[in-house]
Amino acid sequence: MSEVIPKRIAEVKWRSEDENLVLYTATDNRIIVLNQTAAFIWKLADGEKTAEEIADEVVEEYENVTRDKALKDVHKVIQNLKSKNLVTVV
């Protein structure tokens, strides 16, 4: 499998709200709310870190999460964000 390097779309505006992250896309006027874990992944999607590196940070941040589970979750979140045009994959 080739390396997946997610990168936030620059035009997407975002702000923290409680434990969630609220994203706003001006191009199609959408509001998307991410839960705490998805928000953590979103913030790390800087176009430099691979999905594997992000998964390592998820394991460090959240107790009782295995590396395998973290990697699966990271790929799932990235795919979901990509399908909504919120990230690209470099």
pLDDT (mean) for 15-26: 92
Under 8 Å between Cβ of 74 and 51: yes
Distance CA 78, CA 83 (A): 9
- Predicted pLDDT of residue 2: 57
User: For residue 53, is it within any domain?
Assistant: yes
pLDDT in tens, 49-83: 999 999 999 999 998 999 999 999 999 999 999 99
The H or E element containing residue 74 is helix 67-83
pTM: 0.92
Read off the CATH number of the domain in which 65 is found. Answer: 1.10.10
Beta strands in the chain (DSSP E): 6-8, 12-17, 20-25, 30-34, 87-89
Under 8 Å between Cβ of 52 and 58: no
User: For residue 1, is it within any domain?
Assistant: no
User: For residue 89, is it within any domain?
Assistant: no
Report the chain's mean pLDDT, rounded to a whole number. 94
Count the domains in the chain.
1
